[in-house]
Amino acid sequence: MNGLLKIQNVSKTFGGFTALSGVSLEIAQGERFGLIGPNGSGKTTLINCVSGTLRNEAGSIEFDGEDVTRLPAYQRTRRGIARSFQIPRPFHSMTVAENLAVPLEYVVHKGSLHMADTRAEALELLRQMKLAEKADTPSRNLSQVELRKLELARAMAARPRLLISDEAMAGLSGSEVEEVLEILFELNRRGITIIMIEHIMQAVMRFSQRVVCLDAGRIICEGAPADIVQNPEVQRAYLGA
């Protein structure tokens, strides 16, 4: 397997509470990977450790052959890991286009800002997300689905090789879910490895090539979508023991 992301034995505790315990995972280049698990199972914590928002106490995280465990989040982004946030965090004092200008200026054009035309690039990204008309709207005036798309657009603006989508579809209507799903499929077609965290099972199953289920900070099952759905451990985790 051409492992783009290698998570080895990662553990994370908060005070007395163990959020992650010995999690190991390998994700291949170009893969569509699904991460599921009941609330509180540690999905977002794991993602936070991968993106650098949190530091794991034990274990290592390797991206494209490089150990990134000690790197701060912004450096991981510069190496190609991008993520959206479960609860959208737009830069609320800025317009939609300015939101995208930030990663464009700080990641893509880090060395050569004077030559950058970030507006054109931002508009192109927004066009792909079908948000182009909102380019100059203050981001705090967006609707839920528009905020979710902005989250993804901002993550994409950093030109990542690995995109982590953290519950981007939560609370969206059927057609909106379809919209986001189609965007993610398209991104993957262009070669971007995607990790999807979702509760909307049919979306995860349609999208993922491989799925892992977490419960109480541990991996309880790993395999193809069809197998995961039928796994009794997974059903028990969701329905509660």
Partner 1 sequence: MSRMKFWIGSAVALILGVGLPFAPINEYVFYAGYMVLTFVVMATAWNILGGYAGYVNFGPPAFFGIGSYAAVVLFKSLNAPLAVQIAGAALMGGLLGLGVGLLTLRLRGIFFAIATVAIVFIMETLMVNWRYVGGATGLQLLRPPVELYASYTRMLFAVMAAMSVAAVALARYIQTSWLGRGLRALRDSEEAAESAGVPTLKLKLFACAVSGALMGAAGAPMPMYLSFIEPPSTFDLNYTVGSLGGAIIGGVGHWAGPIVGAILLGTLQQVVTVTISSEMNVLVVGVLLVVFVVAAPEGVLGLFKKAFKK
Q: Please identify, among the stretches 30-38, 73-81, 123-131, 175-183, the one whose residues bind partner 1 according to the rule CB under 8 A.
A: 73-81
Q: Please identify, among the stretches 149-157, 186-194, 198-206, 221-229, the one whose residues bind partner 1 according to the rule CB under 8 A.
A: 149-157
Q: Which of 41, 44, 45, 51 binds partner 1 (CB under 8 A)?
A: 51
Q: Which of 28, 64, 106, 216 binds partner 1 (CB under 8 A)?
A: 106
Q: Which of 11, 21, 29, 53 binds partner 1 (CB under 8 A)?
A: 53
Burial group, residue 16, by CB count within 10 angstroms (0-12, 13-18, 19+): exposed
Q: Which of 3, 6, 18, 102 binds partner 1 (CB under 8 A)?
A: 102
Q: Which of 174, 170, 139 is nearest to 153 (CA)?
A: 139
89 part of the interface to partner 1, by CB under 8 A: yes
- Dihedral angle computed from the Cα positions of residues 154, 157, 163 and 168, in that order, rounded to the nearest 10 degrees: 20
Q: Enumerate the β-bridge partners of residue 63.
A: 5, 66
Residues in the chain: 241
Q: What is the DSSP secondary-structure string of 124-179?
A: HHHHHTT-GGGTTSBGGG--HHHHHHHHHHHHHHT--SEEEEESTTTT--HHHHHH
Q: Please identify, among the stretches 20-28, 35-43, 153-161, 172-180, the one whose residues bind partner 1 according to the rule CB under 8 A.
A: 153-161
CB of 45 to partner 1, least distance (A): 14
**Distance (Å, whole) CA 193 – CA 33:** 8
- Total residues at interface with partner 1 (CB under 8 A): 31
Task: Using CB under 8 A, list all residues that contact partner 1.
Answer: 51-53, 72-75, 77-78, 82-83, 85, 89-94, 98, 101-103, 105-107, 110, 113, 154-155, 157-158
